[in-house]
Amino acid sequence: MMTITLNLSPEEEAQLRSFIASGDAISIRRLLAEAVAPTVETLLSESSEELSIDEFEAIADQLAEEVATYLGPNPPVLSDYALSRAGIYEDHP
């Protein structure tokens, strides 16, 4: 079994506690999903040995299952605009 720690800033932690207290599941899921990306990058940069394809797939499957657990059966859906080129690069001229 592998334990993955998400590093949250004090502000993010305060937000998370507030969302939990108010029962705002969507905001909790969003905050946790945003926290996963830098954690994965850190895990990958710390890894000095290459994984076999089977090891990589097992870790990817485990991560996908954990994210699905946090997001639940009905995760928020991104709009077509959010997935478009314009939406992706909206903040980057």
Where do runs of H (alpha helix) occur along 1-93? 10-22, 25-46, 53-71, 80-83, 85-88
Q: What are the pLDDT digits (tens) for 64-81?
A: 888 888 888 888 888 899
For the chain, which residues make up each domain, given as ranges? 10-88
Say how far apart CA 43 and CA 34 lie, in whole Å: 15
For 18-45, the pLDDT digits (tens) are 999 999 989 998 898 888 888 778 777 7
Q: Is 46 left (phi over 0), alpha (psi -120 to 50) or beta?
A: alpha
User: Environment class of residue 57 by beta-carbon count within 10 Å: exposed (0-12), middle (13-18) or buried (19+)?
Assistant: exposed
Q: Output the pLDDT for position 48.
A: 58
